[in-house]
Amino acid sequence: MLLGAVAVVLALVMFSRGSGSTVCPAIGYAYVGDVELVFPQDPVSVAACFGEGCTAAAVTRSPDGKWLVPQSQPYLVPPVSVTSVYVEAADSSGARIASALPIVTEPTGEYPYGRECGGPVRFKPVQVPFG
């Protein structure tokens, strides 16, 4: 009888603790939204593209005043993994930039399978320095 009670207690302890590891589904999250460019002062011209050796295309300011680069043609020509954005811009004082800038991701705060499995991401705005 005592042996049976010990077996039940051990079984309860083992099943209540779980295996100690989490199994996450094999899902990769790709962000396909726009990349926002943020400037220290208003630019007079902006062009951008994704991918090494790409040809920058003119970017227009959105109705809400943001400089958004969509992940579509002519800015993106597949196959490209979007990890940086090439920006050519100038401001009214004549300051210019022509440089590839890194794109940093951040979690959206959604974790469909638990925090330990990660979740969708979005791009942080890219700060574009004039110099």
**Residue-range domains of the chain with CATH:** 29-127 (2.60.40)
pLDDT category at 10 given cuts 50, 70, 90 is: very low
| Average predicted confidence (pLDDT) for the chain | 86
DSSP string, the chain: -HHHHHHHHHHHHHHHH--S--PPP-------SPEEEE-SS-EEEEEEE-STT---EE--B-TTS-EEE-SSTTT--SS---SEEEEEEEETTS-EEEEEEE--EEE-S--TT-GGG---EEEPPEE----
> What is the pLDDT averaged over residues 54-83?
94
Q: What percent of the chain has pLDDT over 90?
A: 60
